[in-house]
Amino acid sequence: MLSAVLEDYIRAIYAIESDGDGRMSTSALADYLEVTAPTVSSTLKKLEERGLVDREEYKGVTLTEEGELVALEITRHHRLLEVFLTERLDYDWIDVHDEADRLEHHVSEELTDRIAEVLGNPPVDPHGDPIPDADLSLPEEGESTRLVDIDQDERVTVRRIHHQGNAELRYLAEAGVRPEDELTVVAVAPFGMVTVETPAGEQSLPEAIAQLIEVVPAAAADGVEV
C-alpha cells in the first residue's frame, strides 16, 4: 500500500506528463509540488524501487506501465470527488481541488464506484479534466487548442482549464471564464495579452493564463462539424 505522499507524487507526475512530452525533470516536479529538489530525488528513489517510475540521469523521470495504472486510479478518485463536492455539497468549482486532494487517499474502490454511479458516471470533472472509468480508460477526446493560439474574431467553447493553482482558477472565475463557456477572441496583443468576450463581459487575459485554457470551436462543441 502506498502512502499519501507517494500517491501525490505519482498523480503529479501523471498530470505533468499529460500536459507535456515524455520525461519530466526533477526540478519541474519540485516546482509543481512546492518541495525541494533533494526531497523529490529521495521520494523518486522510493517509487523507482517499487517499479512505479523509470529514472535516467540527466533525462528525467516517467511513469512505468504499473505506475500509470496507479496514477489513473488515484486520478479517478480525485476527479470524481471534485464532481461530488460541487454537485452534491455545493462547493465552488474553484475550491474543490485541495479538498479532493485530502480525500482521494481514503476512499475505497467500492465507494468510488458508488459515487460514480450516483453522479451518472460523469466523463469530466468541474475543470473539464477527463475522468477514467472503472476500467481506468479515459474517455475519447477530440482535438483542442489552447486559447493563446486562437486567432482574433474566432468563437470558441472552453473545454478544459488546466489546474496550476487556486490563484489561477480564482482569477479565471472572477474574469467569468469557466468550462463550457463560450468566448469570442476580441484581440491578441503582440506582447501576449488575449482579450476575449465572456458571458460576464470583455476581459484581457495574460498569456500565461490563456495558456491554461483548452478550447474547441464553438460549433464543434455543439456537435456541429466545422
- The last residue of a domain, from among 47, 63, 79: 63
Instruction: For residue 73, tell me if it sits in a domain.
Output: no
Over 80: is that where the pLDDT of 21 sits? no
What are the C-alpha distances in Å from 174 to residues 78, 86, 170, 177, 212?
A: 24, 18, 6, 8, 15
User: Residue 37 belongs to a domain with what CATH number?
Assistant: 1.10.10.10
Which pLDDT score, from 0 to 100, does residue 226 have? 37
User: Residue 195 belongs to a domain with what CATH number?
Assistant: 2.30.30.90
Cell of 191: 506582447
* Model pLDDT for residues 174-197, shown as the tens digit of each residue: 888 999 999 999 999 877 799 999
State which residues form the domain around 196.
Answer: 145-217
How many of the other CB atoms lie within 10 Å of CB of 83?
Answer: 22
Instruction: For residue 89, tell me if it sits in a domain.
Output: no
Q: At what angle do helices 4-19 and 37-49 cross, to 10 degrees?
A: 100
Instruction: For residue 107, tell me if it sits in a domain.
Output: no
* Model pLDDT for residues 34-86, shown as the tens digit of each residue: 899 999 999 999 999 999 999 988 788 999 999 999 999 999 999 999 999 99
Which pLDDT score, from 0 to 100, does residue 221 have? 55
Q: Tell me the average pLDDT of the chain.
A: 91
Which helix (H) or strand (E) covers residue 98, if one does?
helix 96-103
- The last residue of a domain, from among 63, 91, 107: 63
Q: Work out the average pLDDT over 195-205.
A: 93
Which pLDDT score, from 0 to 100, does residue 224 have? 41
The CA distance from 164 to 42, in Å, is: 24
User: Could you give the percent of the chain with pLDDT greater than 90?
Assistant: 74
Residues in the chain: 226
Instruction: For residue 182, tell me if it sits in a domain.
Output: yes
* Model pLDDT for residues 86-127, shown as the tens digit of each residue: 999 999 999 999 999 999 999 999 999 999 999 999 999 999
Q: How many domains does the chain have?
A: 2
Instruction: For residue 180, tell me if it sits in a domain.
Output: yes
